[in-house]
Amino acid sequence: MKILVTGSNGLLGRALKKVLGDGHVYHTRKDVDLTNYEETFKYFQDKVLNEGVDTVIHTAAKVGGVNANMNNNQTFFNDNYIINSNVIKACSILQIDNFVNILSTCIFPHENIVYPLTSDQIDKGAPHPSNYGYSYAKRLSGYETQIFRDVLKKNWYSVVPTNLYGPYDNFNLEDSHLIPGMIHRAYLAKQNNEKFVIWGDGSPLRQFVYSEDMAKLIVWSLTNWNSEKHCMMIDETEVSVMEVANIITKKFGFNDNDLVFDETKPRGQFRKPAASDIKDFEFKPIEEGINETIDWFINNYENARK
């Protein structure tokens, strides 16, 4: 099996590169712009014909946190729709044997659903309005993957992870997801001897997965998940924003009175627990994963995405 990973400089792509090691193909934006179909097809064709690629793990996407999505829903929809459509079309023409499409739990409706979320509930309504552009683009890629699986009769399927975090994440103060954004704000607050400000009131609950754990599960799924059903890869433990904040404050050595909650900032959905199709996998504990991410961020501050 020769694997091509799209978006290999991203959070999940980097983790897959670490898990898979040498001998595979790791696409970056410098290799080809996936919004350009002709260039995308030429790139994939070359890797199939000249390097023997028969498997694609598609992680490339335009991503961002609550604030970025709320302010750029049209852009997030348009860019992700084009990227996904181009990659899927190229892979279908080239008859790729194994295609893994990466989705997100944000594709689920925010109303008329039953918790925990299961893959049969995706079509029951609209996603949360805070990120509906990104969510609809991802939903469409899931449908495309299923359709081409039926047509090609090959091992094509989608994976639904929950909130990923880890080294090589996007730590931008405005456009990042929850954990990397909080880590960066804590780092700056400590450097400047200021209060550590948390967006929202600390009450929302989330399920998190360390990026390397997700990479291991995706590689496992290539030979163990042969189904048109989306594969839900979830650590079912719910963790509050307050708990995440406490882990970060402990790691940076803040005092309790150094933590401030800014309730004018968006907090997103209160909770959206999902059920996992993966059983008997030992996920990295959240405190261990966050501490490793903080260590990586501090050691790579100058070059980290921020």
The contacts of residue 160 (CB under 8 Å, 6+ apart) are 103, 104, 105, 107, 119, 230, 231, 232, 233, 234, 274
* CB crowding 151-189: b at 16 or more within 10 Å, else e: eeebbbbbbbbbbbbbbbbbbbeebbbbbbbbbbbbbeb
Q: Cβ(168)–Cβ(9) under 8 Å?
A: yes
Q: Locate tokens 């498997």: which residue? A: 55
Fold that domain 3-166+207-235+273-284 belongs to in CATH: Rossmann fold (3.40.50)
19 sits in which H/E element: helix 11-20
Question: What average pLDDT does the segment 2-24 reach?
Answer: 97
Q: What was the pLDDT predicted at 250?
A: 94
Q: Which two tokens stand for residue 162?
A: 């929950």
Classified as helix, coil or strand, 112 is: coil
Q: What was the pLDDT predicted at 199?
A: 80
Q: What was the pLDDT predicted at 35?
A: 95
* Least confidently predicted of 92-96, 252-256, 267-271, 297-301: 267-271
The ranges assigned to domains in the chain are: 3-166+207-235+273-284
Question: What average pLDDT does the segment 127-154 reach?
Answer: 92
Confidence of residue 70 (pLDDT cuts 50, 70, 90): low
Q: Which two tokens stand for residue 34?
A: 């996936």
State percent of the chain over pLDDT 90.
75
Q: Cβ(256)–Cβ(196) under 8 Å?
A: no
Specify the amino acid at residue 38.
E
Classified as helix, coil or strand, 72 is: coil
pLDDT at 204 over 70: yes
Confidence of residue 130 (pLDDT cuts 50, 70, 90): confident
Q: Residue 206 — φ and ψ, nearest 5°?
A: -140, 160
Question: What average pLDDT does the segment 83-93 reach?
Answer: 98
pLDDT at 68 over 80: no
Q: Locate tokens 């694609």: which residue? A: 56
Confidence of residue 267 (pLDDT cuts 50, 70, 90): low
User: Is 134 known to be catalytic?
Assistant: yes
Q: Locate tokens 């990295």: which residue? A: 284
Q: In degrees, to the nearest 5, what angle opens at C-alpha 113 toward C-alphas 129 and 127?
A: 20
Check 26, 43, 132, 134 and give the catalytic one.
134
Specify the amino acid at residue 127.
P
